[in-house]
Amino acid sequence: MHYRLEPDADTVELLLFRRVCNAKAVRVRMLAGEFPAAFVKAALVADVFQALVAVSTAMHNQTQGSMSTRNLFTEIVYNLSSTRNMSKALSRLGISDETADMLVLVPNATGKQIADIRAAVEGEEVLDVSEGVKETADMPQVRKFYGVTEAEERSGPIVDAIVTRMACRDVR
């Protein structure tokens, strides 16, 4: 699914894969820098909006020279987190050797980059990413990871509470 980020002319392509059977191989190639993308555990993403906020923030930070991490792709994963603990954010949100469902975020993607990722990931691609993300999310894990309370859920969509935590992470 292709999204345009405002106010810049940047775009992001979101790919969702379920039942991935070669996560270890994908992770090795990702860590080697073969893919210009952020690979995230889909179970901890409750809504596409959450991912778009993280990508937009990371791309803004890159433009401003204020990234907290070494590259745009780890910055995206880090910006999905509500904690300033970078190692916790990357280990919990980034894919592991056992990740079965993964969301791939590809900023300013080319057709070749998307084709390379699709060829590398052995799993079922979900074409309706927006609905697929909601179905793939493990809501008890999401609530625990982001510390969302029952009162917050009663007052509005859970993604509002999550994005608020992401945005306020660096406020002291």
Helix axes 48-64, 72-79, angle to 10 degrees: 130
- CA atoms within a 13 Å half-sphere pointing along the CA-CB vector of 44: 22
Terminal alpha carbon distance of the chain: 35
- Answering whether pTM is above 0.85, one says yes
Report the chain (172 residues): mean pLDDT per 10 consecutive residues: 70 97 98 96 97 93 92 95 89 96 96 97 97 97 94 92 87 62
Say which residues have a Cβ less than 8 Å from residue 133's Cβ, sequence separation at least 6. Answer: 16, 42, 45, 46, 47, 48, 51, 103
What's the pLDDT score for residue 84?
Answer: 87
Q: Retrieve residue 151's tokens.
A: 């009162």
User: Structure tokens of 154?
Assistant: 């009663």
| Contact by Cβ (8 Å): 42, 103 | yes
pLDDT of residue 8: 65
Question: Whole-angstrom Cα distance, residue 100 to residue 7?
Answer: 34
The CA-based angle 5-28-12, given to 5 degrees, is 10
Minimal CA–CA distance to 30: which of 99, 119, 117? 117
Six-digit token pair at 116? 């390379």
Nearest to 93 by CA among 138, 125, 45, 60: 45
pLDDT for the residue numbered 169: 76
pLDDT at 7: 62
Write the CATH number for 83: 3.30.2380.10
Cβ atoms 40, 101 nearer than 8 A: no
**Number of domains, the chain:** 1
For residue 67, the enclosing domain spans 2-168
pLDDT attached to residue 168 = 85
Q: Find tokens 């406020």 and name the residue.
A: 171
